[in-house]
Structure 1
Amino acid sequence: MAAVLRTGLRILIIAVLIGPVLLGLAQTLGAAFGWLPALGERSIGLAPWRTLLDQPGLATSIQLTLWTGLSATGFGFALAFALVASLHGRSIGRSLMPWLAPFLAAPHAAIAIGLAFILAPSGWLLRLVAAPLDLTRPPDWALVGDPMGIGLILGLLVKEVPFLALIMSASVSHLPVQRWLVQAGSLGYSRSAAWIRVVLPLMWPQIRLPTLIVLSYALSNVDMALILGPANPPVLAVTVLRA
């Protein structure tokens, strides 16, 4: 009887966890093929896909999406890992980490707008160096809306590096990192090599899901892409929104 109850409890927990995901996936697939009753669309067919494939610059949009999403996630992971590794076990690290929390509460669009004011050709960053460098006009290049998506990558880094750093910091607080570093040092590894070869593989199972969440957002964000991303053509999420 106890075994049956445990099995039923497991099934119930799995259904509660997976059920909303499956419902969301079903609604997404329905909308992809034209079934969207909230907007009065009740005919199932390939018309939405034809509309998407007819969008100009679709291949470039997909390339930009992969480039910006993978780059932001990769660089963000590396920067967050380097930050946690360099500050671990130091008093400055314990005092610095709480200052990263406000970045999590800040809306993505607000960060994008603030970064646009900083990185624009006539923005605050250029104004700080205009007088010392005797600059009288804005430069010809721009990081906001650039065709390579550099501004979008920077915006994603500003938002996601604090998130990943806090996740990694919480993860290493539950691991015997100091003991591993001492053992790796006794085998001739430097501190950085020990973090990469010993700590990171053992920490990865705990931070894998947050990293995938960051990747999924970087590949599908709309608000930051509208403000900082390339516009002609835009990334795939903006293309789908406009289609």
Structure 2
Amino acid sequence: MALHSDTEYKSFSGDAFDFAQFYFETKTEDELLNKINDALHLNLSVEEEDELSWLDEPDNTWYTDCSFFKAPVRNVFPSKTLRLGKIHQLIVSDKYKAITEELRAIEDSKEKRKFKANRFDYVTFSGVFERRNDKFLQKHSNLITLDFDHLQDIEKVRQQLLDDEYFETEMLFISPSGNGLKWIVRIELGEFTHQENFLAITNYIKHTYNLEVDASGKDVSRACFLPHDANAYLHKRHRLL
């Protein structure tokens, strides 16, 4: 942009907009642009909305914060806070592939439980905790875990849950043992507690699909081990950019 200085009129120097502001005697940029718009008959529309008005709006985004714990399960202090997208990323990656295969190769049920408790990292899907205990819940995630064990046809049940007309699946993956499913759904808190939501959903599942749900899901601080499942489902709202 060309710059101008006047040898005779020392009080002005600058570019075309500086000259326009001097000529129109305007105080603000918006006022100057409106004057130019009128003087040159540009007929440009003026946006009245403040471009930064969104900064004053409340953030109503639903964040799914969960606590992540390093193995073994007796470690009750979380190492970080993760959202569903990151947890899903861990499950579908190869991070837990070797130990998942090793667990599924163990035939003795007692040894399996011991191996899982000692070797698998885990999360508390229902919220963020100072330590893993219902009393130390810092923030509920509005998520609840439904655990289905010893399924005869995993793929059939998986599709039934994904197609359910009342509950939208947030995450769904095969359990570490390989013969069960972990179904993560959203619940509303306020009128009903976590435990009341769990009871209602388990009754619905029993009535609709004749499936039993592991009762441990009623605990807000319930630990969920993270296995490998390359085909784990994640709702698109949680996918990482």
Query: Which range, TM-score by smaller chain?
Result: under 0.3
Q: TM-score, normalised by structure 2?
A: 0.20
Structure number having the greater strand percentage: 2
By relative contact order (CA 8 Å, sep 6+), the higher-ranking structure is 1
Q: TM-score, normalised by structure 1?
A: 0.20
Structure number having the greater helix percentage: 1
**Greater Rg by CA:** 2
